[in-house]
Structure 1
Amino acid sequence: MNNVSGTILYFTLSGFSTTVNYKAVLFCVTLLCYFLIVFVNLSLILTIIMDRNLHEPMYIFLCFLCINGLYGAAGFYPKFAFDLLSDVQVISYVGCFFQVFVLYSNVMVDYSILVVMAYDRYVAICRPLEYHSVMCVRKITLLLFLCLIIPMSNQAVMSLLTSRLELCGSKIEKLYCENWSIVKLACGSTTANDIFGLVVISFYMCHFLLIALSYTQLVKAALSSKEGRRKFIKTCVPHLFCLFNVTTALLFDLMYSRYGSGFMTQDLRNFMSIQFIVFPPILNPVIYGLILTKIRNRIIYLIQITHQQIPPFQSVPLLYLSN
């Protein structure tokens, strides 16, 4: 039974309706993406932890960005891979809310860390003499704490509001559980959810404005000196790429969730809805790993050391025995 005494026990994920003919291919691609996310993020995390020269604020924030990428991927890929192999794609009521919490707290933490990284770059380039006094250990700890506690509190409140709704259906038109899709199943008023949702969206729009303001100052500082331009290119360009990556993926999901219409094919809707789960955790560490000189050099050095420690293969000559 899916509904007992008005209580939803399970949700059906109807987004899998178009994956029947190529489940095996999608399953292989899913495993490949998940292993790639784990590999690139874990490589960057271990590189930063093991190299004391990388124990600087920017790299510490980057390390937490990668840890958050692993956290978000764990909330989507295992369940998604399991559903691809299943004949029926369902998720329990509690499991659905847990997945919603993980996925959306993940993306909000991502955005918060990117804001903090923008602030770090602003202090480093626009106030270089004050950098070490401003970005002290206590300040870094406080910023990271806020990056975690505020997004998770926001999502906890949203989940609590949604859990209080009486639902008249159990069909979620996505590949995973999503807060707005659950709210659309409500029988009664969803005003509290709508208002709080707009507050959260506005809050993160302010994040974007703060980043824009910081980069306005960064560009001015970069244009005024050769050293400023060098720092901007080396450390701000990868941050801008990652910010564009996360923002674009979020906008796709927001547009699909709020304004998605029936004229889109299910495959296109599925693609739009998983962008923020798939691309940021792969591209963020790759972008930083390729562009940031210290990290790139360290990774190359570790690869060379590993290669030197592996003994070369020695061929054994064939012995031909004559009668």
Structure 2
Amino acid sequence: MSIKTLLPILLLLSACGALPTAIKAPSDVEESLGVYSSYSSEKRAVAAPDTEDSLGVYSSYSSAKRAVIASPDTEESLGVYSSYASQRRAIAPDTEDSLGVYSSYSDAKRAVAAPDTEESLGVYSSYASEKRAISPDTEESLGVYSSYASEKRAIKPDTEDSLGVYSTYRDDKRAIAPDTEPSLGVYDSYKRAISPDTEDSLGVYSSYASDKRAISPDTEESLGVYSSYANERRAITPDTEESLGVYSSYASERRAIKPDTEDSLGVYSSYASEKRAIKPDIEESLGVYSSYASEKRAITPDTEDSLGVYSQYSSA
């Protein structure tokens, strides 16, 4: 069949809409919810504008190979193309202010444009291998890039004032300014030196079991701070013991405590082998050092008017 014979047939088919036409996708095609959300291997051009503004149009085209045209306004909807794991595209700065857009792009090696892209919740939170530099204002949201375990970047001091930001950076060796620690549990597994004002929050750096450093007096006034420092060998100033159970697991801690440190409940209650001399005023609290069965020391008369203090001292 010659070209002249085929031409009328082709024209007829084109008029009937049976042949595909090259269609450009305007920017309004991506603004619906979840459009093409399951196109993980979808490589095709998005067709006419009226096809994208409905919910779930062509949502099951998993093997339809077309290229998605993503203009900057296409990312402002929720989860649009969120499963495009292998989709390599550049996103404009305004595309990151939506919730979880492209959150599963673990292999998408892209540079996120402007610093305002990080202020939303969990944007690109699963970019474990994403090596990018973030501007200071990008860390003020909750849990942004919280799974960047191998992310080696320098963060400015103002970036740490949110809750749990970069809390899983176990291997991240960085110096943080003092104002970064007033939040709860920020960088709790970070092996680094902290300024004195960084310890006044609850449980900050509580898992530093092998972290050998000196803490200023004001760092111990919170509950259970550094409570697991079993091997920590350091001298604590008197005001550090006034909280409940601080350093309660220091069974082998060998240090001298001043009298005012014993007036809290059960402080150092597990110091069974702690051989030290205690002043008379430290026995007036309830059960302080109640398990010191082998403590061998003399108690002054005013120490016996409390309930059960040293009641187990059978061999005293």
Quick check: TM above 0.5?
no
Q: Which has a greater percent of strand?
A: 1
Select the structure of larger CA radius of gyration: 2
Q: Which has a greater percent of helix?
A: 1
TM-score where L is the length of structure 2: 0.17
Q: Which has the higher contact order (CA 8 A, sep 6+)?
A: 1
TM-score where L is the length of structure 1: 0.16
